Amino acid sequence: MSTADGVATASRVPPREGDPEITPELVAEHGLSVDEYERVRKVMGRDPTFTELGVFSAMWSEHCGYKNSKRLLRLLPTKAPWVIQGPGENAGVIDVGDGYALAFKIESHNHPSAVEPYQGAATGVGGILRDIFTMGARPVAVLDSLRFGDLDTPRVRYLFEGVVRGIGDYGNCMGIPNIGGEVVFDRGYEGNPIVNAMCLGLMKKEDLITASATGVGNTLMAVGARTGRDGIHGATFASEELSDDSDEASRPRVQVGDPFTEKLLLEASLELIKSGAILGIQDMGAAGITSSASEMAGRAGNGVEIDMALVPVREEGMTPYEILLSESQERMLVVAEKGREDEVTRILEKWELEAAVIGTVTDDGLFRVLEGGQVVADIPALPLTDGCPTYEREGVEGEEVQKLRAMDLTEHLIPEGDLTPTFLMLLGSPNVASKRWVYEQYDTTVRTSTAIRPGGDAGVVRIRGTKRAVAATADCNGRFVYLSPRTGAKIAVAEAARNLVCVGALPTAITNNLNFGNPLKPHIYFQLREAVLGMAEACEMFETPVTGGNVSLFNETDGRAIYPTPVIGMVGVVEDVDTLVQHAFREPGDDIVLLGENLGEMGGSEYLYVTADLVAGEPPTVDLGAERELQQAVLRMAHEQLLRSAHDCSEGGIACTLAEAAIGNGEQPLGVEVSLDDDLRPVQSLFAESQGRIVVSCAPSSTDAVLAIAEEHGVRARRIGQVKPGEEGFSVTARDASIAADPKAMTAAYFGAIPGIMNAPSATGA
């Protein structure tokens, strides 16, 4: 057996004919530092071969080895009684009741999407789906969290259009409904779009399977698509900064997706798991066969021996190096029980796919690779998977941010009087406006279980045969994180939780996607560390442990980093689908109640971005204890069926929250009559993005009960107005200012904004 120090020594491996000599330049090209290479030599007890160098390069990349984030990730809470599987597997798994378990995870495909948006995004969806069904769960919902630059450049529109089409084509073909997510436009993402895809899968608890190479003597089989030369070194690519010439040069490192094969692979994998013929299964995702085989060995404390000559390939003449590092899509590695290989092959053949025996599970703790019987790599498995050096970097806050945060915003708070034009401008800003243009390209109703579709606070899928449902949301306001990483991260968790309680779901666990710049820069490492600390604190408070996720660093173009964007994918449980709440007002005459305080915090707001082209100021404060009380209060109101609607306050402030609730799905927009009597400037009352606020509506007969529950939880609550028929207009006053708009015109602005930009004749491609 090997130890983490690599005591189990690798055997001597002669250099393979035709392989380049290992030089310091070659080591550097593989993304390994001088110190890291020394560590490789220590683990190996000798110089690595070219093939071995490639393996280390992939496994010790940021993408696979988490070398700059692992120490921070340890700070996150990961346990709760309902957590069945925490971090370290293909996906996290929680108990959702009635014998069901939910597997869920989020993953990024930022770099590939930046150079080839359609395939980059499509394969991102493919990868996250495989992470879910390799746990034994059937994927039941997809969400996506997307960020682009402002839509005013052809390049950004090209990326946006391609990413959305890629996600749609893949998910639609697979027959997995898309139930929500978020789309953000801000120049902070101009060079590096953020494409995070999240998947939820349901299974009976007993169907859980993990990715371990257990049982010495068992057989390793490659199943699904053949291995080609696409995506070689994708994992290393994902761990670098982009530059102007990344586009052309990096395209060969982007994989190509085939959702039809994936659909067959999904059905075949679930059938394999049910058959009991396999003991473990893992996606050949980032770093392909290398990571799947070595990680499965590492988890079981075993070794593996695989022969590259047995791997079905698409083209002749592929070297072991290429086969090991290919990221061709729609492939799986399975551990079949010895003697049941034919059963595995028969199931794959039924689904018109291939299966090939490529190796065995061994007891020597080594990741051994053969080429037609000749050893070409022989590496202690555990140091390879767990021995990646981890770093704590220097973290110092950037000066630019400190200046932005200290900026005096007073001059922007002056406007009063008729604020209707400002309001309509905000409602039509792509960040606030409806994302219908996006989600209408996604199948949202296939599998006939979608109880709440995209467009509301959170998506919901019911669990067939029970009264239960699971809810999910993906959230982050990168501007807030940029201005104050710790606070911003707390806000991301708090907003996700508010979104869940707004539909009546109990926040249960999270998966996170940490999208950041280059952590070797002190101001970026500062953002990363602070964000993790904020996230940890919020997750502790809300009892929403982190069950896994993804880290995407080096999101920089020409030295300029994205906003730090720790996306929170949060899931929640609904015990009774009959108690679901939606965001739209329903009945004229209903009371509108504001839960939480209007604090008038304008820093990082959409108002500042739209009216002053500014991302500045102190972001809103967040009181986690108060958030938790608010969550509990709203959940009680939902369970007692007191609410007609509930909607979180976020971008665009309370004015836009009210507008979205009034517009609903646009079929029958309603009006409101609301008066805000805060001791604030009108702009602050209407457009501030202070946290901890939810707008609910209820029948007047329920208002006292709603206010009483709020009081019990110490949540400030007040009736601010009434829902009106659409003809009576949308009227909101705040001291000396007012908004008066026709709900039909609001509906047109809200739904028409993004199509207006994307369908304009000038908007065709880059």
Q: Is residue 449 involved in binding another protein (CB under 8 A)?
A: yes
Q: Is residue 274 involved in binding another protein (CB under 8 A)?
A: no
Structure tokens at 132: 């879910």
Q: Using alpha carbons only, give the angle 562, 567, 573 rounded to the nearest 5 degrees.
A: 170
**Options 109, 111, 523, 583, the catalytic residue:** 109
**Closer residue to another protein in complex, CB, 202/300:** 202
Backbone phi, then psi, for 114, in 5-degree steps? Answer: -70, -30
Report whether 353 contacts 269 (CB < 8 A): no
Q: Which of 20, 99, 154, 175 binds another protein (CB under 8 A)?
A: 175
Query: What's the closest the beta carbon of residue 350 comes to another protein, in angstroms?
Result: 8
**Closer residue to another protein in complex, CB, 443/556:** 443
How many other C-beta atoms can be found within 10 angstroms of the C-beta atom of residue 389? Answer: 15
Q: Is residue 443 involved in binding another protein (CB under 8 A)?
A: yes
641 by Cβ neighbours in 10 Å (0-12 / 13-18 / 19+) ranks as middle
Q: x/- string (CB under 8 A) for another protein, residues 301-340?
A: ----------------------------------------
Structure tokens at 164: 């959305």
**Closer residue to another protein in complex, CB, 139/603:** 139
Query: What's the closest the beta carbon of residue 349 comes to another protein, in angstroms?
Result: 11
Query: What's the closest the beta carbon of residue 689 comes to another protein, in angstroms?
Result: 30
Structure tokens at 18: 């035709």
Helix (H) or strand (E) holding 158: helix 154-174
Give DSSP secondary structure letters for 428-485: TSTTTS--HHHHTTS--STTS-EEE-TTSSSEEEE-TTSS-EEEEEEE--HHHHHH-H
Q: Is residue 130 involved in binding another protein (CB under 8 A)?
A: no
How many other C-beta atoms can be found within 10 angstroms of the C-beta atom of residue 236? Answer: 24
Give the span between the Cα atoms of 298 and 210, in whole angstroms: 13
Report whether 638 contacts 501 (CB < 8 A): yes
Q: Which of 130, 299, 453, 647 binds another protein (CB under 8 A)?
A: 453
Give the span between the Cα atoms of 183 and 147, in whole angstroms: 6
Largest Cα separation within the chain, whole Å, is 84
Q: Which of 445, 558, 704, 712 binds another protein (CB under 8 A)?
A: 445
Q: Which of 214, 275, 441, 611 binds another protein (CB under 8 A)?
A: 441
Query: What's the closest the beta carbon of residue 271 comes to another protein, in angstroms?
Result: 12
**Torsion sign (Cα): 470, 473, 474, 476:** negative
Q: Is residue 133 involved in binding another protein (CB under 8 A)?
A: no
Query: What's the closest the beta carbon of residue 648 comes to another protein, in angstroms?
Result: 22
Q: Which of 451, 520, 699, 763 binds another protein (CB under 8 A)?
A: 451
Structure tokens at 102: 């939910």
Q: Which of 27, 32, 137, 174 binds another protein (CB under 8 A)?
A: 174
Q: Is residue 450 involved in binding another protein (CB under 8 A)?
A: yes
How many other C-beta atoms can be found within 10 angstroms of the C-beta atom of residue 700? Answer: 12
Q: Is residue 173 involved in binding another protein (CB under 8 A)?
A: yes
**Closer residue to another protein in complex, CB, 42/464:** 464
Q: Which of 50, 104, 423, 439 binds another protein (CB under 8 A)?
A: 439
Query: What's the closest the beta carbon of residue 469 comes to another protein, in angstroms?
Result: 9
Query: What's the closest the beta carbon of residue 462 comes to another protein, in angstroms?
Result: 6
Give the span between the Cα atoms of 479 and 465, in whole angstroms: 42
**63 belongs to the catalytic site:** yes
Q: Is residue 457 involved in binding another protein (CB under 8 A)?
A: no
Q: Which of 91, 140, 264, 654 binds another protein (CB under 8 A)?
A: 264
Q: Is residue 613 involved in binding another protein (CB under 8 A)?
A: no
Query: What's the closest the beta carbon of residue 503 comes to another protein, in angstroms?
Result: 13
**Closer residue to another protein in complex, CB, 260/559:** 260
Place of tokens 């900026």: 407
Q: Is residue 464 involved in binding another protein (CB under 8 A)?
A: yes
Q: Is residue 747 involved in binding another protein (CB under 8 A)?
A: no
Partners of residue 358 on adjacent β-strands: none
Query: What's the closest the beta carbon of residue 530 comes to another protein, in angstroms?
Result: 40
Give the span between the Cα atoms of 747 and 766, in whole angstroms: 30
Structure tokens at 198: 């999240």
Window of 74-82, 91-99, 313-321, 573-581 that interacts with another protein by CB under 8 A: 573-581
Query: What's the closest the beta carbon of residue 672 comes to another protein, in angstroms?
Result: 23
**Options 30, 63, 583, 647, the catalytic residue:** 63
CA 127 remoteness from chain centre: 12
Give the span between the Cα atoms of 367 and 6, in whole angstroms: 12
Window of 10-18, 447-455, 507-515, 655-663 that interacts with another protein by CB under 8 A: 447-455
Q: Is residue 352 involved in binding another protein (CB under 8 A)?
A: yes
Partners of residue 507 on adjacent β-strands: 572
Structure tokens at 188: 């902070």
Q: Is residue 687 involved in binding another protein (CB under 8 A)?
A: no
Structure tokens at 680: 């604030």
Q: Which strands form 219-224's sheet, in the order they lie side by side?
A: 278-283, 331-336, 219-224, 354-362, 303-307, 366-371, 374-380
212 by Cβ neighbours in 10 Å (0-12 / 13-18 / 19+) ranks as buried
Q: Which of 442, 482, 542, 563 binds another protein (CB under 8 A)?
A: 442
Query: What's the closest the beta carbon of residue 578 comes to another protein, in angstroms?
Result: 8
Give the span between the Cα atoms of 92 and 274, in whole angstroms: 20
Q: Which of 260, 274, 406, 677 binds another protein (CB under 8 A)?
A: 260
Q: Is residue 487 involved in binding another protein (CB under 8 A)?
A: no
Q: Is residue 448 involved in binding another protein (CB under 8 A)?
A: yes
**Closest to 723 in 3D by CA, of 643, 636, 634, 633:** 643
Q: Is residue 9 involved in binding another protein (CB under 8 A)?
A: no
Q: Is residue 79 involved in binding another protein (CB under 8 A)?
A: no
Window of 254-262, 328-336, 384-392, 687-695 that interacts with another protein by CB under 8 A: 254-262
Window of 19-27, 61-69, 572-580, 585-593 that interacts with another protein by CB under 8 A: 572-580
Q: Which of 37, 351, 542, 751 binds another protein (CB under 8 A)?
A: 351
Q: Is residue 181 involved in binding another protein (CB under 8 A)?
A: no
Q: Is residue 402 involved in binding another protein (CB under 8 A)?
A: no
**Closer residue to another protein in complex, CB, 267/623:** 267
Give the span between the Cα atoms of 151 and 128, in whole angstroms: 27
Specify whether the backbone of 50 is left (phi greater than 0), alpha (psi in -120 to 50) or beta.
alpha
Q: Is residue 168 involved in binding another protein (CB under 8 A)?
A: yes
Q: Is residue 172 involved in binding another protein (CB under 8 A)?
A: yes
**647 belongs to the catalytic site:** no
Window of 297-305, 354-362, 449-457, 512-520 that interacts with another protein by CB under 8 A: 449-457
Query: What's the closest the beta carbon of residue 757 comes to another protein, in angstroms?
Result: 15
How many other C-beta atoms can be found within 10 angstroms of the C-beta atom of residue 18? Answer: 7
**Closer residue to another protein in complex, CB, 165/719:** 165
Q: Using alpha carbons only, give the angle 412, 418, 419 rounded to the nearest 5 degrees.
A: 45
Q: Which strands form 417-418's sheet, in the order they lie side by side?
A: 417-418, 737-741, 730-734, 671-676, 717-724, 591-595, 694-698, 645-648
User: How many chain residues interact with another protein (CB under 8 A)?
Assistant: 35
Q: What positions carry a catalytic annotation?
A: 63, 109
Q: Which residues bind another protein (CB under 8 A)?
A: 165, 168-169, 172-175, 258-261, 263-264, 351-352, 439-451, 453, 462, 464, 577-578, 580, 667
